[in-house]
Amino acid sequence: MTNFIWLAIAFPLVGVVVNGIFGRKLGRAANGWIAVGTVAAAFVVGVLSFLQVPSLPEHAQIVPLWRWITIGDFEVYLSLLVDPLSMLMTLVVTGVGLLIHIYAIGYMDHDKDVARFFTYLNLFIASMLILVLSDNFLGLYVGWELVGACSYLLIGFWFYKDSAADAGKKAFIVNRVGDFGFALGVFLIWTTFGTLQYTNVFEAAGDKPVAVITAITALLFVGAIGKSAQLPLYVWLPDAMEGPTPVSALIHAATMVTAGVYMIARSNVLYALAPQTSTIVAVVGGVTALFAATIALVQFDLKRVMAYSTISQLGYMVMAVGVGAYASGIFHLVTHAFFKALLFMAAGSVMHAAHDVIDMRRLGGLKAKMPITYWTFVVGGLALAGFPLTAGFFSKDEILAKTFEANIWLYAIGVFTALLTAFYTFRAIFMTFHGKPKDAEVYEHIHENKPVMTVPLVILAGLSIFGGLLGLPGGLGLPNWLDGWLEPVFELKNMFVPAEAVHTGVGTEVGLMALSSTLVILGIVAAWWVYLRKPQIAEKTAQSFAAGYKLLANKYYVDEIYDALFVNPARGLGVFFAKVVDMGVIDMVLVDGTAKSVGYFGRVMSRWQTGYIRNYVVSIFVGAIVIGAYFFLR
Amino acid sequence: MTAIEIPALNFAALLPLFIVVGTGLLVVVLDLFIADKKSLGWLSLFGVILAAIVGNMQQGGAGFDPAFQNVSLLDGYANFFNIIFLSTAALSILVALGYLGRVGLHRGEYYALLLFATSGMMAMGMATDLMVVFIGLETMSIALYVMSALNRHSRPSGEAGIKYFLMGSFASAFLLYGMALTYGATGSTNFSDIGSVLTAGTVAPMAMLGLGLLLVGFAFKVAAVPFQWWTPDVYHGAPTAVTTFMSVGAKAAGFATLMRLLMVSFPAFAVDWQLAIAVLAVLTMTLGNVAALAQKDVKRMLAYSSIAHAGYILVGVAAATTEGIKSVLFYLLIYAFMNIGAFAVVGVLEQKEAIGTKLTEYAGLARKNPWLAMVMALFLFSLTGFPPLAGFWGKLYIFRAAVNADLTWLAVVAVINSGVAAFYYLSVIVQMYMKPAADDAPEILPSTPATRIALAVAGLAVVLIGILPASLVDMVAKGVFG
Amino acid sequence: MVPTPYYLLLAAVLFAIGAGGVMLRRNTLVILMCVELMMNAVNLTFVAFSHELNDMTGQVFVFMIMTVAAVEAAIGLAILVELYRLTRSVNIDEFNSLKG
């Protein structure tokens, strides 16, 4: 079956073609089930191939498709890579994708443009599979750009809403900054190694100067910062919630945003050779985790809470791969895909029932009316908070344990963030589902959703509970299946983690677990106390720490700062600015300003186009004289 | 008395050309008897396709030998350009079949003129003698002058015709003067003879001046700055079907001759003309792109964009290497598909009296006609150079040729330019997909099957070359002369 | 016998006069004539070189140019007549509705 792994990409593409061309004629129901069917077929292909991986020689197989391009002696064969990591990602993408597709049938049942929606969604699945299945950096880059384009299309799906169109534009522009770095990184790999094939690059990496590897990894990481929404380029992700909720669940929580983590894990050989970059990666991840969690504390939009929580959790993953715990990062990626997709879809379920009301200050008391949504949301919340024995608990603790070995300060940040996570998650649960209904009119209309939406929730809830079995803590002598599974890919993972700092003892491991479990429970209890027991506390705290509260509520004014720093001067200074500021990097942030200033030149030149033949002829004559003189005098 | 010796002319080499000219003459005659001008269009299409098939079958055979006392040569290079010209002609005929009827211009001479212009282009691609260059160039140009002025009731069309004609003849005079000086300095009008004289001898200022003036003439034809002024006005004023044809065909023909001339006759002065062409390339790209930003009319914007593309292609010419030639061939074929495609969409949306070409009139197209919007987006993304569409590879090969020829600075300028270009291409896409249509927006008339075939072929080519560029690269490798 | 450079110089002067006329005159008909003048300057150059080199190619070329120039003149006048019908003018500066 591994030879036919390309079918996993082909099936969703068939869906794209069918829905894209005949979508409107086929009717709404057909649109959805065609999309679901193709993703299900891709999932089956994925499962069958997955099962064969252990029997492959060296657990990997390159499946050549065709010769793609030739430039001089540089040849790129379009081929796919079947190995433990790519297959695991394929399962996550198609599996979670399948559930979200099913859910989307219910969620989008009132929308007038279902065909277009499922066309984009299938296109996204195909693009994401190109990204994870490619066996070279060029394919990775192509997939990287394609998922970006799909994300842009889907954020702006309701383009007639200004906010959606703006959010789409913002995501596009911010991601361009990252992609620019990524493209440079790929280019540097090419010039350094003369090839883009993973295997060739990784084999030759040891012979290259560390400085070059550091530069490559740093540039690639710039791409990851953009795509995986890390500081300072995370600003697009919260706005991306303007898209339909299934999109938020699939693209902006479960799959696309984890592409950066996947890329670093895939390039682990390079990152292991570049300790400086790895340090930066770890620090950026840790700081992002904390930073985003603090903002999530005070948001009132349920989807935005989840968005900031996604950024924070991505921070954990990035921190993990930064300290060299690649398998742990991937583990958390998988469990996060389960519980965050679940949380988003449950939030969407609320939104669907409440007719697009998503402000938690207008909800409350939904527990009785939407039992399935409520209980699945709680399961997801527990997993997100890292409540003992849920999936999130094992994956997060593995990261924390590995971080503890690497750097105590990062560990401290991680643990504190875990406390915050528990608090904001249950704040959201209590505000939405408990207490008294705050808006009678909204409450009146709320009802549980159809099975097509709730069944995927239940399945994901099961995965959120039991997903942890994939990677039980090896430090306690329990079998860590995932570590073993991914071992062929991460053989070199310990190159940079110093040898002395081998595994912490069982005692330490248990201690760490106990500490984080305590903090998690503490966070949940605190949320209960503040938001259910004594709601006035929340108000009071907000008042007594008005300055801090305002800072958080306004998300550290980052958007405003970026506006003030980049966007507005760009508009104002126009011509001058475009020349001074580095054309490459900031150019993209400055999109508006540059466009205007260049547009100014354009109008000037346009004015030279006078329409008089006389003037044109003079220009030809002068040009002829200049060229003639140049050649005559040579 | 000696018998008259008939020299070996090798008519076989010109067979594709004869087929095109013959079809053109046939169209002229049949035009008198046939009222349904559409059938003339299909006849022309048949002739064009036949010529392409015959030309390809001849490859490697007798056609390879020089013909008519060494004045023309159907080698791989000429054959590749024939493919470009004939594809351009075929697609333009399909576009015209729909467009001309809609704007009330359906006349038989259009197809005859198009075929004659195509034959001129083919002659330019095959020419190895300045005289043939001149005849081919004028055959093409004169047909194009008339085609620009085809709409006799439209002032813009007439104006486009007179502008193109006056400036074209003016530039032709410079070109001729250049030919005369080159002839005077070398004693020959044959490409390779000129080359061997110049390589052997000391540098003659007169030959240099001749080269300069030849360059002026070709720079005019390919619309390089500062000889580009006619382009926006003529492309804008001429009927869209004509613009579609000449924006690709005339440009490709200019490059066909220019490259062969420079590489065969003037390799001795390579350093000098490389710099000149590089400077022209920078000016052309930059002005084309920047001026396109300010346009409010899509047809005019595409005219400026075609100037910018001439600039990119000049980058490949400036490389002055085999790789550079290959990259130009590769780019021109891709450019033919994506540019014709974009203009064809403009033609579909255009109504009488030039309504329907303004940027704002593209608003909401994605809702009104998702198919049309999709192919337009495809062509525009390809023109921008978005991977993995064909245009991306075209740019990549050209830039790489420049880098390998130690013209990294030029490649950098070109990359920055393609970044600027993204703004105006994307602005059309934004209009189509993100803006609601105005209430008083003109209704879109349904496109004809012929137009749909043209759009489908061009769209498929853009996508397929994007996914499978390797096969085209192999094909290009055969298209290098000498 | 007049030396060849004299012919060449005369041709250059004629070419310059023609070019100057194209740039300066208003009447499109006169501009057409000026273009013809430029072409003929080139013809003179060709003939002079042909004589100098004792080679017939240049003179054959002149015939080609003369033929093409005749065709060009015919086409140019035809376009101008059509345009005159629409604008009632042969003043070149009136033909500037296309610009920007």
Rounded to two decimals, the ipTM of the complex is 0.97
Q: Is residue B394 part of a domain?
A: yes
Q: Is residue B387 exposed (0-12), middle (13-18) or buried (19+ Cβ within 10 Å)?
A: middle
Please state whether B61 falls in left (phi above 0), alpha (psi between -120 and 50) or beta.
beta
Closest C-alpha to A399, from A331, A468, A328, A338: A328
Strand residues in B115-209 grouped as ranges (E): none
| Low-confidence spans in chain C with pLDDT less than 70 | none
User: Residue A51: helix, strand or coil by DSSP?
Assistant: helix
Cα–Cα distances (Å) from A72 to A69, A76, B384, B395, in that order, read: 10, 11, 24, 15
> Would you give the distance in Å from CA A430 to the centre of its chain?
27
Q: Which residue has the tokens 């001795």?
A: B268
Domains in chain C, number: 1
Max Cα–Cα distance, chain B, nearest Å: 85
Are C23 and A609 in contact (CB < 8 Å)? Answer: no
The answer to whether residue B178 sits within a structural domain is: yes
Residue B75 placed within a domain? yes
Q: For residue A77, what is the DSSP state?
A: E
Instruction: Read off the tokens for A183.
Output: 């493209």
At A72, is the secondary structure helix, strand, or coil?
coil
The reported pLDDT for the residue numbered A137 is 87
- The answer for residues whose C-beta is within 8 angstroms of residue B416's C-beta and 6 or more apart is A583
Question: Are A606 and B419 within 8 A, CB to CB?
Answer: no
Which residue of chain A has the CA closest to C94? A612
Give A607's contacts in chain C (Cβ within 8 Å): 100
Return the SS3 of A325: coil
CB contact under 8 A, B287 and A598: no
Residue B66 lies in a domain: yes
**pLDDT for res A16:** 84
Of B285, B311, B319, B256, residue with least CA distance to B88: B256
Domain that holds residue B386: 11-477
Interface test with A, best of B164, B228, B229, B334 (most A CBs within 10 A): B229
Could you tell me if residue B248 is inside a domain? Answer: yes
User: Angle formed by the axes of helices A275-296 and A302-322, to 10°?
Assistant: 160
Integer Cα distance of A423 and A412 in angstroms = 17
CB count within 10 Å of CB C56 equals 9
**Which chain C residues touch B232 with a CB distance below 8 Å?**
98, 100
Closest by CA to B288, choosing from B339, B340, B212, is B339
Residue located via tokens 């993408």:
A93
Task: Note whether residue C42 is domain-resident.
Answer: yes
Tokens representing B246 are 């000449």
Taking chain A (634 residues) in runs of 10, the rounded mean pLDDT of each run is 81 84 75 87 89 79 74 71 87 89 84 82 89 87 86 80 77 80 85 82 82 88 87 81 83 84 88 86 89 83 87 90 86 89 87 79 78 87 86 86 84 87 87 78 76 84 84 73 77 46 66 82 82 70 69 70 62 45 44 60 77 87 90 82
In a domain, B397, yes or no: yes
In a domain, B3, yes or no: no
Q: Which of residues 124-153 of A touch B (CB under 8 A)?
A: 141-142, 145
Interface probe, candidates B166, B290, B382, chain A, greatest A C-beta count within 10 A: B290
CATH number for the domain harbouring residue C49 = 1.10.287.3510
Which pLDDT belongs to residue B215?
A: 94
**Interface contact A612, partner B, CB < 8 A:** no
User: What type of residue sits at position A433?
Assistant: F
Kindly tell me the sign of the dihedral angle through the C-alpha atoms of B446, B449, B454, B456: positive
Neighbouring residues of A267: CB distance < 8 A, sequence distance ≥ 6: A217, A220
Residue C66 lies in a domain: yes
Q: Are A114 and A32 in contact (CB under 8 A)?
A: yes
Min Cα–Cα distance to chain B from A486, Å: 31
DSSP letter at B268? G
Give the rounded distance of the alpha carbon of B444 from its chain centre.
29
Tokens at B243, concatenated = 């613009």
Q: Which residues of chain B have pLDDT under 70?
A: 1-2, 6-8, 60-65, 203, 352-354, 441-442, 482
Q: How many domains does one find in chain B?
A: 1
CB A383 within 8 A of CB A338: yes
The rounded distance, in Å, linking the Cα atoms of A151 and B35 is 53
**CA-based nearest residue to B464, from B357, B373, B390:** B390
Q: Which of A120, A613, A614, A626 to mutate to test the interface with B (most CBs of B within 10 A)?
A: A613
- Whether residue C76 is contained in a domain is answered as yes
DSSP three-state, residue A52: helix
Q: What angle do CA B221, B225, B226 make, to 5 degrees?
A: 100
Pairing relationship of beta strands A61-71 and A74-82 according to DSSP bridges: antiparallel
Indicate the burial class of A502 (C-beta count within 10 angstroms; 0-12, 13-18, 19 or more): exposed
SS3 A69: strand
Question: Residue A340: CB partners within 8 Å, gap ≥ 6?
Answer: A249, A253, A254, A306, A309, A310, A313, A380, A384
Which residues, 6 or more positions from B63, have their beta carbon under 8 angstroms from its beta carbon? B10, B12, B13, B15, B55, B74
3-class SS of residue A134: strand
| Local structure of B72: helix, strand or coil | strand
Asked whether residue C82 is domain-assigned, the answer is yes
Query: Given a contact as 3+ CB pairs under 8 Å, which chains touch B?
Result: A, C
Query: Which residues form the domain of C29?
Result: 4-92
B482 inside domain: no
Per-residue DSSP letter, B227: S
Per the domain annotation, does C61 fall within a domain? yes
How many angstroms separate the CA atoms of A340 and A335, rounded?
8
Torsion sign (Cα): B407, B411, B416, B421: positive
Residue B293: the pLDDT is: 83
